[in-house]
Every structure is written in C-alpha cells, then in structure tokens.
Amino acid sequence: MKPYITLGIETSCDETGAAVYSSADGLLSNALFSQIELHKKVGGVIPEVASRSQLEKIEPIVSAALERAGKTLEDIDAIAVTNKPGLPGSLLVGVCFAKALAWAQNKKIIGVNHMEGHVFSSFLENDVPFPHLCLTASGGHTALFLVRGFGDYELIGHTDDDAAGEAFDKIAKLLNLPYPGGPEIEKRAQQAGFEDFFAYPRHNPQSLDFSFSGLKTAVLYDLVKRKVYDIHAKKLLDDSQEIKNQVASSLLVCIGDIFAQKMELALKKYPQVKAITFVGGVACNKYLRARLKDVANAHNLPFFFPSPQYCTDNGAMIAFVGNYKAQQGKFSDWNLDILK
C-alpha cells in the first residue's frame, strides 16, 4: 500500500485547525487557533464572527502545520478538508482554501465528514480494536456509533434535538457562568460532591437515541419553581454559589447516567464489541469519562479517549481520516462542496 503524507484542514465551527499526518511516521504536526475569547462575551458561537476569523487565520495556521512537520506543499500527497456537517460559512472557508491549494499544487483532495474525524480521533494515540462502540459528544452533536473498521461505521444512536455540550453551555448561561459551560459545570459539580440534588429527568432508557432539549427545559422550570429564576426577566434571582453548584452537580450526574444507560443498552445489543471509545469536546470531562470507564470495566472492555487537544475540533483527526481514505483510493473530485 502506497504511503501518503496528508495535510488536514478543519473549519467546521469556531476552530481553525491544520495538521500533517504520514502513514509511515504518524502525526507530524497539529496547529490550532481557538476562538473561545471571541465568543465569550455573548456566551456562544457567532457564525459570522467565526467565519471571518477563519478567513484571517487559515493561511498562517496551515503554514504553521507544514513548518512544524518539516514539510512543504511539494511533500504533501493529498489535502483533506472537513466539508460537513458544520456552520456553512465556516465550512466554506476551509473547503475553498483547500480546493484552491490543491488545484494550484496539483494535489488530490479529500472531503471528510467532521463526525468521522471525531470517531477515529482515538486512533491518533491508541491502537483501538474493531469492532468497538464510540460515543461522540460536543456542543454540536451527540451520537453513538458501531465502528467495524476504518471508514466502516454505523450510526446506532443520535440526539433527537440538542447536543450534550449545548446543554452545558445553555445551562451555564442561565446560571451566569462563563462560556464554554462544560469546564465550569464540572468544576462546580466537583465542589458539590457530584451529588444528584434535584433528580432531573433522564431520556427514554429503552432507546439508543439522546435528547437534551427537555433536560434544559426541566432545569429552567425547576429554577423557576424554586423561585431562584425570573423567566420573564430572564434573570437569576439567587446568585449564591450553593445553588449554582447544586444545579451543576445534578446536571452532570444526570448526563452521566444517560451516557452510562445508553452504553449499557448498546452493549446488550452489540455484545461482539471489543472496546469503548469516548470522543468529542465533552470527552474532556473527567467525570463523564469515569462513568463510561466504569461501564467498560464492568464488561471487561478496554476504554479509550483522546487527549484534550484531539477531543475538541482539530486538524489532526481530519488528516488521519484523510490519510486512510487516500490509502483506500477514496478521493473527491473538484465538485466537492459543503454539506453534501
């Protein structure tokens, strides 16, 4: 099989990432510009701000990835780029840049599904056996996959509405906590001892699908019922640390229960799996990792997750997927577009 050196580009949301991956030597570089500071003031991603920032940062980030890898564009065999799913403006920045670069340098181009990048992000540092179950969770998606091989995976459960990471961000905003909400929720839950104070509702335990919209509403109505939130003024009336910590703790335990229940159900349905992986931005959460690791241990299965730099959106996972697609001869043509 021909060895490939692949440049990967990721601009699906608010990160601008690029990386170089070699089928012979592994990951050679990973460069990233995070926009967290740009979006903190409003507590969420502003699509136009995200795409404008990516227009400014994509060339220097790609150049940094090549420089750190000790490679030039002449050394690159293929350019992989995220083309779905994501914010249309952000995706356009990456796809247009990648296509122009590939055309100018006479390189092959490969469109990569952002979700596939996350699914295989654990392989950047681990030798994960097939088949395995992969739970991928972030601010934009929550899904469960049965992974049979490289490029061979099946969606077996998905969110019917909002993602787990979005629930963290929106509830953190209710509590006047900073963006992004996940790290702050975990910190406050730890201070409260990871106890379930308010028993928020769990999604249907008989389904592999997820739902977090109802959970967000349940938290809001519970705060209103306890007279600590004014729904009309959209204002938290009790700004005490105690209530914030208790809500954060109850929320995190609830999501931990949901993740564990779904994984247990999936293991009953697919007893042949040899491992469990947990990926995406939410996989940075140590409490949720521990809950899933407990499930894996109970079934004598190995448990894998990426380092934090590969949990959030990054070019390395796109370069990795692009590399094995190149080896499989799965290249895109010049009609490559976003969201197709």
Nearest to 110 by CA among 210, 243, 21, 28: 21
Rounded-to-integer distance, Cα 279 and Cα 141, Å: 11
pLDDT band at 168 (very low <50, low <70, confident <90, very high): very high
pLDDT for 200 equals 96
What total of structural domains would you count in the chain?
A: 2
* 223 token code pair: 């705060």
Interval 245-295: pLDDT, tens: 999 999 999 999 999 999 999 999 999 999 999 999 999 999 999 999 999
Instruction: Tell me if 218 is assigned to some domain.
Output: yes
Report yes or no on 67 lying in a domain: yes
Residue 87 belongs to some domain of the structure: yes
Please give the average per-residue pLDDT across 126-136, as a whole number.
98
**How high is the pLDDT of residue 306?**
98
Q: What is the pLDDT of residue 1?
A: 67
Residue 88 has pLDDT above 80, yes or no: yes
Residue 44 has what pLDDT?
A: 84
| 337 occurs within a structural domain | no
Contacts of 296 (CB under 8 A, 6+ apart): 275, 276, 302, 303
Q: Find the DSSP H helices in the chain.
A: 36-39, 47-69, 88-105, 114-119, 164-174, 181-191, 213-225, 241-269, 286-298, 308-311, 315-327
Any domain includes 336: no
End-to-end CA distance of the chain: 29
CA–CA separation, 34 and 181 (whole Å): 16
Do 77 and 224 sit in the same domain of this protein? Answer: no
Q: Is the pLDDT of residue 244 over 80?
A: yes
Q: How far, CA to CA in Å, does 330 sit from each of 21, 56, 68, 186, 324?
A: 17, 30, 27, 40, 9
Which residues make beta-bridge pairs with 158? Answer: 143
Task: Give the range of the structural domain holding residue 162, as residue numbers without chain letter.
Answer: 128-305
pLDDT mean over 52-71: 97
* Residues in CB range of 258: below 8 A, 6 or more apart: 202, 203, 210
Q: Say if residues 169 and 39 touch (Cβ distance below 8 Å).
A: no
What proportion of the chain, given as a percentage, has pLDDT over 90? 90
The region of weakest confidence among 29-33, 37-41, 84-88, 139-143 is: 37-41
Distance CA 171, CA 294 (A): 26
Query: What are 137-161's pLDDT values in tens digits?
Result: 999 899 999 999 999 999 999 999 9
> Does any domain span residue 246?
yes
Classify strands 5-10 and 15-22 as parallel, antiparallel or unpaired.
antiparallel
Same domain, 96 and 179: no
Can you read off the two tokens belonging to residue 270?
């697919």
State whether 97 and 230 are in the same domain: no
Mean pLDDT of 213-239: 92
Is 197 part of a structural domain of the chain? yes
Distance between alpha carbon 136 and the CA centroid of its chain, in Å?
Answer: 6
Average pLDDT of the chain is 96
User: How much is the pTM?
Assistant: 0.96
Looking at the structure, tell me whether residues 205 and 78 fall in a common domain.
no
Same domain, 202 and 55: no
